[in-house]
Amino acid sequence: MAIPYGLLSSEQVRVLAKIARDYDKGYGHITTRQNIQYNWPKLQEVPDLLEELANVEMHAIQTSGNCIRNTTSDQYAGVASDELEDPRAYCEIIRQWSSLHPEFAYLPRKFKIAVTASKTDRAAIRVHDIGLHLIENDQGERGFAVYVGGGLGRTPVIGVKIRDFLAPTDLLSYLEAILRVYNRLGRRDNKYKARIKILVRESGAERFTDWVEAEWAKIRTGSLELGVDDIQQMQAYFEPPAYAATEDSAEINTQAAQNPAFGRWLKHNVIAHKQAGYRIVTVSLKDPNEAPGDCTAEQMERVADLADEYGFGEVRTTHEQNLILPDVPHAALFNVWSALDELGLATANHGTISDMIACPGLDFCSLANAGSIGVAREINDLFADLDEQYDLGEIKLKMSGCMNGCGHHSVGHIGILGVDKKGEEWYQIMLGGSAAEDATLGQRLGASVSKHDIAPAVRKIVDRYAELREGEELFVDTVNRLGIAPFREAVYG
């Protein structure tokens, strides 16, 4: 089900809960495109399910197939203290342009766009077909740096910048030009070489840019040109809510001191908000006993209630497979934590090794070569001590059950890829990847390991990191400093 740039109303969340209960097995799965996935609807009931979605202005259009998929963005967009401006207005402009676009309904392959407006890239823009970074140039003008040709899957590639600055009024015409070039020149004879990343790589970034610029010159001043009024009208839909004039509550610090579990959650799952007296809360869907990204109907309903009671009725999904309550008053944090704790949604592990990304794997997906959910639980068992996770610092573990890479394994600090070996489940390991502003592909550690050995291999890698790190050095920095050889030795001897 499509969730544009991860934004949901509490009413929509309740309908998603109802769908999980009535048409599935009582839960849904948050995906790395900020959508929600149901794995058990009966085919004959799908029309009724879609009607339920339509009643709250939702749909499942363009969530698969060779078309422009759901546009994703920073999960903190509009409330992040470090953003230039709210990028969601541009995400919505792109959504309206791309939905049922008659020229791009049958592209050579699927097409993904991401937008961010912060220096810290939380939207993974450089591993998308098009990545847009809202920036300010030396003249104080705001516009987009445009990246093209990123992607994961069978052939992971980091996108290249083809334009340093694009005025917002030119956004749609430039996107249209890119898509036209891809639609015309992208390969259709081999689906494994049909993504735009292959076209950019084979033609060269400079030549590809020339094609785009030539196409853009034909359409720049036409009907696709955005007026300033058009942009401002869309931005009006994303005006900040009516925040109360409030300050931080001293009582919260007292409660954190008295309740260590709350204190841990406050430190790891709560971040600063651009509005004084408010915080952004990450609702962890990474309970060690559950599949990463799964959320039950009851949990959805209660999160919707919390969004109404302690916010402005808004819930967000993240590409890291968690939920966000974006506007929680500081004074209400203990109450929110207490409610989430009762639901099993207060695991204080955001950014730790147990906050892993994982696709459904062989348990649900017909494309998978190996399971992900069981491996995730085994890894969690080996890192059950939260204090150890905190000491280890940020480790982004990402796992895919096949080379399609829905779990973003190629850009994980630790990436795990499930492979099939004569009908048995084996796993390749990659180290040193990143989807952030320093986007990098991980390096393959060595030969694949068996299902029995994959969790212990991760333990050995992390133990070697703990031995070799300098001070508070992060895992990915240690890998970058030393290379993968010490970790290969730890796993293979």
Q: How many Cβ atoms from other residues are within 10 Å of residue 423's Cβ?
A: 5
Q: What DSSP designation does 295 have?
A: E
Q: What DSSP designation does 176 have?
A: H
The sign of the torsion formed by the CA atoms of 438, 440, 446, 448 equals: positive
User: What are φ and ψ of residue 447, in 5° steps?
Assistant: -65, 155
List the chain residues with pLDDT less than 50: none
Q: How many Cβ atoms from other residues are within 10 Å of residue 481's Cβ?
A: 11
Yes or no: say if 261 and 323 are a contact pair by the CB < 8 Å rule.
Answer: no
So what's the pLDDT on residue 363? 87
Domains contained in the chain, CATH given: 4-64+247-342 (3.90.480.20), 87-236 (3.30.413.10), 357-492 (3.30.413.10)
Core vs surface per residue 232-247: b (16+ CB within 10 A) or e: eebbeebeeeeeeeee
Q: Tally DSSP H helices, then E strands, for the chain.
A: 16, 19
Per cent of the chain over pLDDT 70 is 100
Question: To which H or E segment does residue 271 belong?
Answer: strand 270-272
So what's the pLDDT on residue 288? 93
Q: If we measure between CA atoms, which residue out of 6, 73, 120, 83 comes closest to residue 275? A: 83
So what's the pLDDT on residue 201? 98
CB-based contacts of 114: which residues, under 8 Å, 6+ apart? 71, 72, 73, 123, 124, 125, 128, 130, 131, 132
